[in-house]
Amino acid sequence: MRTALALLLVAALGLGLFFFGQQLLTELKAGISELQPGPEPESKPLVLPPDQNPISAAGDESDPAPDSKRSLILAWNQQALEALERGEIPRAIELLQRCVLEDPGDRVLARNLALAQVRQAGLMIDSADGEQRREALAMVEHVLEALEGDEREAVAARIERWRARAEHEAAFLSSGNQRFELSYDGEQAGLRAAEMDLLRRLDRAYQEFGERIGSFPLEGKRLRVVLYSPEAFTRLTGLGHWAGGAFDGTIRVPIQTGGIDARLDGVLRHELSHAFVDRLGGGTTPAWLNEGLAQYLETRQLDSLRLKAVRAACSDSAWPELASLRGNFSALGNEDAIRRAYGIAFGFIAYLAQNYGEDLVLDLMRAGAKGVSAEAVFSQQIGFDLHVAWEDLRQEWQAQ
Half-sphere exposure of 46 (CA within 13 A, CB side): 18
DSSP letter for 224, please. E
| Other CB atoms within 10 Å distance of the CB of residue 106 | 18
pLDDT in tens, 202-260: 999 999 999 999 999 887 788 999 999 888 898 888 887 778 889 988 999 988 765 56
The domain limits of the chain are 2-166, 171-277, 281-400
The Cα-based distances of 14 to 46, 48, 378 in angstroms read 10, 6, 43
pLDDT band at 194 (very low <50, low <70, confident <90, very high): confident
| C-alpha dihedral, 359 to 361 to 365 to 366, nearest 10° | 30
Q: Which of 42-46, 75-79, 178-182, 263-267 has the lowest mean pLDDT?
A: 42-46
Q: Rounded distance, CA 124 to CA 143, Å? A: 16
CATH of domain 171-277: 3.40.30.160
Q: What is the percent of the chain with per-residue pLDDT over 90, rounded to a whole number?
A: 42
| Other CB atoms within 10 Å distance of the CB of residue 400 | 9
pLDDT band at 63 (very low <50, low <70, confident <90, very high): low
The Cα-based distances of 119 to 140, 214, 331 in angstroms read 10, 30, 22
pLDDT in tens, 7-33: 333 333 333 333 334 444 444 333 322
Q: Rounded distance, CA 389 to CA 247, Å? A: 29
Task: Give this prediction's pTM.
Answer: 0.74
Half-sphere exposure of 231 (CA within 13 A, CB side): 3
Q: Rounded distance, CA 208 to CA 7, Å? A: 49
pLDDT for res 34: 34
